[in-house]
Amino acid sequence: MRNRAAIAVPAASAAVAALLLSAPQSQAAAGPDRPARCTEKALTLRAKAVPGHPTVLRVSVTNRGTRACVVDRVPTVTFGNLDGAALPVPEGGTGTYRLPARGTAYADVRTIVNPRDPEARRVDAVTVAASAAHWGRSFTAARLGTGRRVLVWEPVTTWWQRSAAAADRGIGLS
């Protein structure tokens, strides 16, 4: 009997550990006071150039779900076929942002400081994701309201904010 207990306890512990390690991150990280990661299908992403500022895009994410969930603290914004993503302003954008049920968060993305910069790259579309693990949604330059192309050089993005005005302040528009 002793041998069975000596084998059964480690085997049961290993099974529990395997279940916890194989659970999706959204389930493993959730607790009573820590919401699960947002699923991509529960989110709506929008993006548009800020009126009067064609080099600044306002992006938003809305949680259509009935429970709060979390997304990355900073949106992942990529540009056409260029390598890399917009850098967070301020730095240190790792972590999560709690998105309430039916709530919306906003971020601003400055694609380029000087549109006449000879280093500017031109892309047809911008892709925005609420979390790096999501595919995100692509927006054409025409849909964004930036003309035929989006000019890009050293792009930056704010952290998610509770209002569009707060995102504007974060990028220096107000």
Q: Which residues contact 127 (CB under 8 A, 6 or more apart)?
A: 77, 78, 79, 136, 137, 138, 139
E strands in the chain: 43-50, 53-63, 69-72, 76-79, 87-89, 96-99, 104-110, 121-123, 125-129, 137-140, 150-152, 156-158
Q: What is the pLDDT of residue 174?
A: 78
Higher model confidence: residue 34 or residue 81? 81
* 106-120: pLDDT as tens digits: 999 999 999 999 999
**For all residues of the chain together, what is the average pLDDT?**
86
- One-letter amino acid of 143: R
Secondary structure of residue 30 in the 3-state scheme? coil
**CA 38 to centroid of chain Cα atoms:** 10
Quick check: 3 pLDDT over 90?
no
Average pLDDT over residues 120-144: 97
| pTM greater than the 0.85 cutoff | no
Average pLDDT over residues 23-44: 72
